[in-house]
Structure 1
Amino acid sequence: MLAETLTHLRVGNQKFLTDFYQRSRLLFARWAQRQHKLPPAQAHELLQDTLLDFYDQVADGRLTIMPTDLRAHIYGMAQQRLAAGVPAQQPLPAAEASRRQRLLVLFNQLGADCQQVLTYFYFSGYNAQTLGAKMGYPNATVARRQKNSCLRKLYDLLTK
């Protein structure tokens, strides 16, 4: 499960982080209030920024193993962020912003079906069976092949 979560994060599926945020925001806000005297709105921003930092660490390969206690890891990252005085919603480094923008442009060059398949799989977190049903494919094998074909097209655009 943990390795699968990292894989999903590496390919851009942030559903896990969104769910974590929704489950943890109130508890995190209480912790931030007690430990750092932050009002709830600032605590929520801190959690969002920390989760984005976590995502960036996974996406660029700095984090290769999922922490066994993710909550403690995220809280520790937030504490480090506060101790270092990192400003809220710090913009992405130029190279990463450029990479993401280029990937988005290439993604938009794919056909509508490929965009839908990749969106369902990576952003909605659908498995091959659900993907096949949503797209009207006869079975999960066809859905997997279609997804792989779409990824290959995106990769080919990326390497041109």
Structure 2
Amino acid sequence: MSAPLAETLTQLRVGNQKFLIDFYQRSRHLFARWAQRQYQLDAPQAHGLLQDTLLDFYDQVADGRITKMPDDLRAFLYGMAQQRLEANVPAHVPLPAAEAGRRQRLLAQFNQLGPDCQRVLTFFYFRGYHFEKMGGKMGFPNATVARLQKSSCLRKLYELLR
């Protein structure tokens, strides 16, 4: 992993799925062998299961159910896949078009913000920093300035979304 784990979660939360795509491309053959040995799935079924599992993981990160990157992501995802198989969850249930579109718009608008606003919003919403810590990280003189910056950045994002 080239990016720090917190940065990876932040990117996932704003809709950037590159990390998951790379993970899929690196791991699909190994996952297919595991699925074939454990559950007698052929390669296309195993690849579909891994895709669905990665999308479930993404959804859990995006809606806040996962707040910390697992120490062993591969084992965590294999466990999720195992739970899908044991619970007999239907495969390839896509996101509703409205939600998929909303996430893509949010990512595009977030990327239009300046780097300082991106960092402020990331620190507050995705890393859970309080205003004093965020102010220290950003070089602001005090927590009030951090609070005002967060408010200003959020207002800018809101305006971009409208």
Change (3 A) 1:42 1:99: closer
Gaps of 5+ in 1: 122-148
Alignment of 1:118-157 (within 5 A): 153-157=156-160
Amino acid corresponding to residue 101 of structure 2 in structure 1? Q
Choose which of 30, 34, 37 in structure 1 pairs with 2:37: 34
Aligned to 1:61: 64
Partners of 1:29 and 1:44 within 8 A in 2? yes
TM norm structure 2: 0.64
What is the SS of the residue equivalent to 1:34?
helix
Aligned to 2:128: none
Alignment of 1:104-119 (within 5 A): 104=104, 114=112
Q: Distance in 1 between the 2:105 and 2:69 partners?
A: 30
Aligned to 2:101: 101
Report sequence identity in percent. 70
Can you list the C-alpha shifts for 1:119-139, whole angstroms capped at 9, x where unaligned? xx9xxxxxxxxxxxxxxxxxx
Q: RMSD between aligned alpha carbons?
A: 3.1
- State the Cα distance separating 1:98 from its structure 2 match: 3.1
Aligned to 2:17: 14
What is the SS of the residue equivalent to 1:64?
coil
Change (3 A) 1:35 1:98: same
What is the SS of the residue equivalent to 1:72?
helix
Aligned to 1:91: 94
Is it true that 1:76 corresponds to 2:79 in the alignment?
A: yes
Partners of 2:14 and 2:103 within 8 A in 1? no
Alignment of 1:35-54 (within 5 A): 35-54=38-57
Change (3 A) 1:105 1:6: closer
Q: How many residues align?
A: 123
Q: Distance in 2 between the 1:107 and 1:61 partners?
A: 16
Deviation >2 Å, runs of 4+: 97-108, 149-155
Gaps of 5+ in 2: 119-151
Partners of 1:114 and 1:150 within 8 A in 2? no
TM norm structure 1: 0.65
What is the SS of the residue equivalent to 1:89?
coil
- State the Cα distance separating 1:101 from its structure 2 match: 2.9
